[in-house]
Amino acid sequence: MIDLLQDQRVDAEWMALSAFRDLLKLSTKGSMTKSTYAEALDFGAQLYPALLGNESSVLRRATESDTTQEYRQRARLKTQAAGRPIHPLELIAADIAEIDQLLDVAKRTKEKGRVDRLKNRLKTLKNARDELDPPAHTETQLISRDAAAFPSGLPSIDSGKGYKAFELPDGNALRLHLFHPDKPEHISGADVLYERHSPATETVTMVFVQYKIWEKQTLSLNDSRMAEQIGKLKSLVCDGGLCTHSNKETPYRFPHCAAFLRPTDKLQSPSQKLISSGEHLPICRIAECTKINRFGTPVLDFKGIRGTSVSGGAFEYLFSYNKLGSRSVTHEDLEEMYERLRISADLSRLIVHAQEFGSYAELSET
């Protein structure tokens, strides 16, 4: 039972982490240095601390250094022995203080013996301390509020419960909604909603993404909950007219598909190397890509969808340049959708901040 619960926990964390990394890649126009899994973990910890926080994430602990894991084990056993909570930071702080004192003695007395091992140990302990309690300035570059980094960085221009918004390099704004397993997800059927805002025209294009774990690049469709989620997505997006073509749109672009299924490779263990495929399959194409396996179960597999799906890299590029996603909708239409989904996000605040950042960029170039 414990193994089953941990397996479900790892699946949930892995899907969320994949979504956050997709966002980082999209927002940084594919920069691999600004969209590492480590940065995605830090980003996820701030937006969804209950799942990816420093003290809650199974994946985070599995990627910690040996030293950090050692001090976690020490703290757990010392807690049992002492009958009171002992945090690993207490133990690391005490050992750091001891080595600092010894190095201070060596410096004051001009002791000629070597102290390189102590210095190396001190560096290792400080790295472990930062893993357990990351300093504020290590926040991922994407959500940095440091104005000096603009326009090369991507400052957060708004934030709230379950969502964050960012200034894009082209002057537009990107907002991510993470649907926790609560009312919005139940209504929309999606895990993540991407919005690309254009302050100049006061319009928005959107993409809804449903993440699902598949094993050996095969996803069973014999799941009533997933069928219900896909049905809700179709009702909201396709039947709701977000895919409807408009002659006012840019003449050259992909169809206005705005709801995608995003299969994600299953991690066999929390310590496994983090690598995820990034295919995005329009939900309107699921039926034509479905196969029946030898057990009579309807499934999707990589071979069957690769001619129809959009790769992660292509998805990021096309959405960033407004060549993929829903038709453009007005803020009034978006607010009506928010009401249906019961999302709280102040559009006026978003546009005001976007304009402020735009003004700052113009000033910084003069």
330 or 62, greater pLDDT: 330
Choose among 273, 230, 217, 190: nearest CA to 14.
273
In angstroms, rounded to a whole number, what is the distance separating the alpha carbons of residues 225 and 228?
A: 5
- What was the pLDDT predicted at 209? 87
Choose among 70, 187, 190: nearest CA to 132.
70
Taking the alpha carbons of 240, 245, 247, 248 in that order, is the dihedral positive or negative?
Answer: positive
In angstroms, rounded to a whole number, what is the distance separating the alpha carbons of residues 187 and 288?
A: 25
- What was the pLDDT predicted at 146? 22
Lowest mean pLDDT among 133-142, 246-255, 321-330, 338-347: 133-142
* Dmax (CA) of the chain: 81
Tokens 């672009």 locate to 253
In angstroms, rounded to a whole number, what is the distance separating the alpha carbons of residues 26 and 138?
A: 21
Lowest mean pLDDT among 90-104, 150-164, 180-194: 150-164
Q: Crossing angle of helices 88-109/66-82, nearest 10°?
A: 110
Lowest mean pLDDT among 88-92, 238-242, 305-309: 238-242
105 or 200, greater pLDDT: 105
Instruction: Specify the pTM.
Output: 0.64
Mean pLDDT of 138-146: 27
CA angle 133, 138, 140 (to 5 degrees): 120
Give the amino acid at 85. P
Instruction: Specify the long-range contacts of residues 49-56, CB closer than 8 Å, at least 24 apart.
Output: 51/12, 51/13, 51/16, 52/13, 52/16, 52/17, 52/20, 54/132, 54/133, 54/134
- Residues 226-248 pLDDT 10s: 888 888 888 888 888 888 876 56
In angstroms, rounded to a whole number, what is the distance separating the alpha carbons of residues 128 and 133?
A: 9
Are 204 and 334 spatial neighbours (Cβ–Cβ below 8 Å)? yes
Are 259 and 241 spatial neighbours (Cβ–Cβ below 8 Å)? no
Lowest mean pLDDT among 28-37, 124-133, 136-145, 312-321: 136-145
Residue 92 has pLDDT above 90, yes or no: yes
Give the amino acid at 172. N
Of the segments 4-13, 58-67, 241-250, 345-354, which one has the largest average pLDDT value? 58-67
H or E stretch covering 111: none
In angstroms, rounded to a whole number, what is the distance separating the alpha carbons of residues 340 and 153?
A: 34
- What was the pLDDT predicted at 155? 42
Residue 144 has pLDDT above 80, yes or no: no
- Residues 264-304 pLDDT 10s: 877 755 555 665 667 899 999 999 999 999 999 999 999 99
Task: Convert 249-306 into a string of H (helix), E (strand) and C (coil).
Answer: CCCCCCCCCCEEEEEEECCCCCCCCCCCCCCEEEHHHHHHHCEECCCCCEEEEHHHHC
Residue 148 has pLDDT above 60, yes or no: no
Residue 251 has pLDDT above 70, yes or no: no
- What was the pLDDT predicted at 254? 76
Choose among 274, 344, 279, 363: nearest CA to 314.
279
Of the segments 214-223, 286-295, 327-336, which one has the largest average pLDDT value? 286-295
